Amino acid sequence: MSKSEVAQIRPKSIGTSIPRREDPGLLTGRARYIADIVLPDMLHVAILRSPVAHGRIRHIDTAAAQAMPGVELIWTGQDSHARCPGIASTLEQKGFVATVQPLLAHDEICFVGEGIAVVVAHSRAQAEDALERIEADIEELPVVTDAVAAIDADDLANAAVPANMVYHSNRVTDPVEDAFANAALSVQGCFHTPRVNAAPMETRGFVARHEWTSGTLTCWSATQMPSFIKTMTAIFLQFPEHNLEVITPAVGGGFGQKAHLHPEELLTCLLSIELGRPVSWIEDRQENLFRAPQAKQQINDMALAVDDQGRFLALRDRVITDSGAYNSLPWTPLVEGHAGILVVTDPYKIAALSAQSLSVTTNKCPIGAYRGVGFTAPTLAREVLIDRAARKLGLSPFEIRRRNVIRQEDLPYQTRAGMTIREGTFLETVDRLEAMVGYEDFRKRQQEALKEGRLLGLGISIFSEVSGIGTRALNFLDYPLTSHDTATVRVEPTGKVTVTTGIVSSGQGHPTTLAQIAADAFGVPVEDVTILAGSTHHAVGFGTVASRSAVFGAGTIGRAAEMVRGRMRAVAARLLQAAPDDIEMSGGMIHVRDDPGRTMPFAAVAGAAYFAEATHPDDFDPALEATAAFDPSDIVLANGGHAVIVEIDMETCMARVEKMYAVEDCGRMINPMIVEGQIRGGMAQGVGMILLEELVHDERGQLITSTFQDYLLPTSLDIPDIEISHLETPSSLVPGGIKGMGESAMISTPAAVAGAVNDALACLGAAIEQFPASPQRIFEALSKAGVIERANNSTV
């Protein structure tokens, strides 16, 4: 049977907002996070991090540190390099430059915060005290901090990357000159999205325990990708994979930052192997700001050609991604830089596209994934330009979108980048959002506010989300990778259902939603299902990334359950004297279709399979257990939209979000409460990225926003009411009609917030293209438009 086969699941628990079964543990503090893992004889790691952005290590003196109390071991990069050359980002993609990220720098240092030595001591405090006694003699090298300048710079940020260019792609290069030359209108902008930190509440962490007696290496990791870490550890450390286990405890948020193999993880493994004792590395917040993968820094120089009716003719985009010093694995700069240009036209009919993307190396922390990875920045540029075109043509922002979105009658629609869009409720989303916002009333309110010297703005964004990313989607996005998951489903003798899965949760609620899926696969109550997750001894999974878990959960559990159901149907058919094809399961019972009298409990049939051979058909295989893989047969595309209203205070130039709206179409929702939680959390992150958050580096590559006093995260005070509305277009590619949605809000809310700020500024003829829209930048935008001066003059 094909791995893309869509097993039948009849929604019953699916679609209901049952409470999350993991919450009692999380809310009472009983759940165990990585820092709660305490093992006998455990030692603690602290890492010395480079104070310079680019340099060459001349000498590191560890003698004084070695003599400090509690110190067991100190390694420099020479020691780790002798055991593992580093994390190589090899990828079979023409023109892609692989980097090798050392576990500790042993020669060239490429960014502030890169590890250069490690202390293992009896306590973290002792390890940190010893760090202060290490003397590092570093020769400083020229620093490359600006991605645009890096393209033509003589200096290299990383000696391994010629011309500072990790990857350059231009898959779709339609000739668009004529379209722009003849267009009634063309709008253009150069949009800067900030370098940000996903800032999970829990920082990264890793505990390794090597036991020389058994040869086993057990790892606990706060990760989104345990199977990936296991295999990569086996490869990079040449450690026998069957002796490796990666356990995922409770994870306090990942948002993409924990979707990587980190140098510290391999280092911790090596230290435990060396010392024969458990070793724990728990990142502190400052380390997290300096060294955890950063994200999203792009420049999109985009232009849109529009006819006099507001119809889009052509789109041009040139993307520069500031990738930092190395490629993170597996989501290399390829992900942030290149996926977006292949989906940038998605919700709209645009006949011509010309897009190129450059990923550039700089002396900054490597970027990694962060919710909406790759899609956020180009979506922002596109949507802000659409608003700009609407303003120039005197159209409402809803109307211009209505004239361009892909409609039901256009489906299936082939985009210029080559994606076949089979379904989607783009027009319905525009209409729904317009009604929610109350557009006419808003414009009146905006005019009245302006008379009182208050600036209101409305921003809108329409998006599509490539969700449930499997092999087809990866290949479309130019990643030469294969991805499938497996799940094992077992019906126990008493009719309870046990599912083992490779999917781990970092807060998404999988223990609950996967149980809802399995319950409906067998027609049993959800309380009768248990989900075993969190050990690589369980089934195989690529990881909780790319909004794939709902899709892969339904696909794998659906197929495995179908195999088990087949066996149960065979027994039941015999017991109920019917044909197996006429046997149905629902409400915890097994019955003959259209014959309600012929029925027996699900548990009784399970019991018969285990304990009553006399009930078995000939050649019956009584294993009520099956493992199945799943990989969707094509891209599972979700869609929706966001609208945001902001107010800018003319005195302080601060923007504040007044109201936010979301429309989401993720097919059938498994658990609407969880879906809405995903939306709200993602929208808060979107507000943070566009109004508050920015990792700022000076020209020497020093991070100057190194605490939460400088790196501003949104709090509940910054997030207003969020009104959510659902459309449900079931997917035919996934059991239950499910599509993923975990990243939607971070794909599109930033665009809506950016659009809202611009709409407010446009009242005074100003515009902003650099984000976050800090008071400083808003002040500058108003000054540039001559508004601030005019205001000052009028008060004089």
Q: Which is nearer to ligand MCN, 115 or 509 (CB)?
A: 509
Q: Report the amino acid identity of residue 342.
A: L
Residue 738 binding: pick among ligand MCN, ligand SMO, none (C-beta 5-8 Å cut-off by kind):
ligand MCN
Q: Kindly indicate which of the ranges 141-149, 152-160, 234-242, 367-375 contains the residues binding ligand SMO, using the contact rule CB under 6 A.
A: 367-375
Please give the residues from 49 up to 78 whose contact with ligand SMO meets the rule CB under 6 A. Answer: none
Residue of 7, 109, 247, 369 that binds ligand SMO (CB under 6 A): 369
Size of the site for ligand MCN (CB under 6 A): 35
Sole window of 162-170, 366-374, 380-388, 484-492 interacting with ligand SMO (rule: CB under 6 A):
366-374
Nearer to ligand SMO, 556 or 744 (CB): 744
Among 269, 550, 583, 691, binds ligand MCN (CB under 6 A): 550
Rank residues 425 and 508 by Cβ distance to ligand MCN and give the closer one.
508
User: Is residue 547 involved in binding ligand MCN (CB under 6 A)?
Assistant: yes
Residue number, 437 or 554, with CB nearest to ligand MCN: 554
Which region among 52-60, 134-142, 365-373, 714-722 touches ligand SMO (by CB under 6 A)?
365-373
Cα–Cα distance measured from residue 69 to residue 599, given in angstroms and rounded to the nearest whole number: 72
3-state secondary structure of 79: helix
Beta carbon nearer to ligand SMO, 371 or 739: 371
The listed partner (ligand SMO, ligand MCN, none) that binds 459, CB under 5 to 8 Å by sort, is none
Nearest approach in angstroms of CB 796 to ligand SMO is: 51
How far is 163 from 155, CA to CA, in rounded Å? 8
Is 652 exposed, middle or buried (CB count within 10 Å of its CB: 0-12, 13-18, 19+)?
exposed
* CA distance to 392, 399, 680, 744, per residue, from 663 (Å): 26, 17, 12, 10
- Candidates 219, 352, 529, 669; binder of ligand MCN (CB under 6 A) is 669
- 44 interacts with ligand MCN by CB under 6 A: no
Q: Which of 702, 690, 595 is nearest to 642 (CA)?
A: 690
Site string for ligand SMO, 236-275 (x = CB under 6 A): --------------------x--x----------------
Looking at the Cβ atoms of 283 and 743, the one nearer to ligand SMO is 743
Asked if residues 513 and 631 have their Cβ atoms less than 8 Å apart, the reply is no
Q: CA-to-CA distance for 199 and 400, rounded, in angstroms?
A: 36
Cβ atoms < 10 Å from Cβ of 532: 15
Q: What does the DSSP 8-state code read for residue 173?
A: B
The residue from 348, 370, 375, 771 that contacts ligand SMO (CB under 6 A) is 370
Counting residues that bind ligand SMO (by CB under 6 A) gives 10
Using the rule CB under 6 A, give the single segment among 185-193, 429-437, 542-550, 621-629 that binds ligand MCN.
542-550
Residue 72 binds which of ligand MCN, ligand SMO, none (CB < 5-8 A, kind-dependent): none
340 binds, among ligand SMO, ligand MCN, none (CB under 5 to 8 A by kind): none
Closest CA to 475 of 434, 550, 392, 419: 419
Q: Does residue 293 bind ligand MCN (CB under 6 A)?
A: no
Q: Which one of ligand SMO, ligand MCN, none interacts with residue 760, CB within 5 to 8 A by kind?
A: none
Least Cβ distance, residue 742 to ligand MCN (angstroms): 3
Q: State which of residues 68, 161, 738, 760 lies at the interface with ligand MCN (CB under 6 A).
A: 738
* String of DSSP letters for 274-329: HHTS-EEEE--HHHHHHHS-BB--EEEEEEEEE-TTS-EEEEEEEEEEEEESS--B
Kindly give the residue spans of alpha helices, DSSP state H, lying in 196-252: 226-236
Cis peptide before 617 (omega within 30 of 0): no
Residue 101's binding partner, choosing from ligand MCN, ligand SMO, none, with beta-carbon cut-off 5 to 8 A by kind?
A: none
- Site mask for ligand MCN (CB under 6 A), range 616-655, x = bound: ----------------------------------------
Q: State the minimum distance, in angstroms, from the CB of residue 551 to ligand MCN.
A: 6
Q: Considering only residues 224, 328, 483, 678, which one is a binding residue for ligand SMO as defined by CB under 6 A?
A: 224
Cα 43 to its chain centre, rounded Å, is 32
Among 423, 434, 743, 759, binds ligand MCN (CB under 6 A): 743
Q: Are 371 and 190 spatial neighbours (Cβ–Cβ below 8 Å)?
A: no
User: How many helical (H) and strand (E) elements, i.e. helices and strands, does the chain have?
Assistant: 22, 30
- 313: alpha, beta or left, given left = phi > 0 and alpha = psi -120 to 50? alpha
| Closest by CA position to 355, among listed 596, 171, 204, 199 | 171
CA dist 710 and 720 (Å) reads: 23
Q: What is the closest distance, in whole angstroms, from the C-beta atom of residue 401 to ligand MCN in the complex? A: 24
When the beta carbons of 205 and 256 are compared against ligand SMO, the nearer one is 256
Q: How far apart are CA 542 and CA 565, in angstroms?
A: 26
d(CA 7, CA 733): 10
As given in the structure block, the two tokens for residue 345 are: 């036209």
Side by side, the strands of the sheet bearing 589-592 are 583-586, 589-592, 595-601
Q: Which of 461, 549, 639, 685 touches ligand MCN by CB under 6 A? A: 549
542 binds ligand SMO (CB under 6 A): no
> Closest distance between ligand MCN and the C-beta of residue 98, in Å?
24
Binding of ligand MCN at residue 509 (CB under 6 A)? yes
| Cβ-closest position to ligand SMO | 256
Shortest spacing between CB 550 and ligand MCN, in angstroms: 3
Among the residue ranges 364-372, 419-427, 573-581, 767-775, the one whose residues contact ligand SMO (CB under 6 A): 364-372
Residue 86 or 735: which CB sits closer to ligand MCN?
Answer: 735
| 166 closest CA partner among 176, 175, 154, 158 | 158
CB neighbours (10 Å) of residue 790? 12
Gap between the Cα atoms of 662 and 722, Å rounded: 7
Closest to ligand SMO by CB, 205 or 253: 253
Q: Which one, 641 or 681, has the nearer CB to ligand MCN? A: 681
Which residues make beta-bridge pairs with 252? none
Nearest approach, Cβ of residue 77 and ligand SMO (Å): 29
507 binds ligand MCN (CB under 6 A): yes
Residue 181, Cβ density class (10 Å: 0-12 exposed, 13-18 middle, ≥19 buried) = exposed
Q: Position of tokens 């909780």?
A: 544
Structure tokens at 600: 């027996």
Q: Choose between 397 and 543: whose C-beta lies nearer to ligand MCN.
A: 543
User: Which position has the token pair 């949605």?
Assistant: 741
DSSP state of 416: T
Alpha-carbon gap, residue 343 to 381, rounded angstroms: 13
User: 263 near 108, Cβ under 8 Å?
Assistant: no
70: left (phi over 0), alpha (psi -120 to 50) or beta: left
Q: Is 222 in the site for ligand SMO (CB under 6 A)?
A: no
Site for ligand MCN in 144-163 (CB under 6 A): none
Crossing angle of helices 775-784 and 787-795, rounded to 10°: 80
Q: 375 touches which of ligand MCN, ligand SMO, none (CB within 5 to 8 A by kind)?
A: none
Please select the residue that binds ligand SMO; options are 196, 306, 373, 660, rule is CB under 6 A: 373
Q: Per DSSP, which regions of 426-578 are E strands? A: 455-467, 485-491, 497-501, 529-532
Q: Could you give the CA distance from residue 148 to residue 320 in angstroms, rounded to a whole number?
A: 7
Residue 108 Cα distances to 326, 356, 693, 780, angstroms: 12, 31, 30, 39
Contacts with ligand MCN by CB under 6 A lie at 253-256, 371, 467, 506-510, 513, 544-550, 666-671, 674-675, 678, 681, 738-743
Contacts with ligand SMO by CB under 6 A lie at 224, 256, 259, 369-371, 373, 545-546, 743
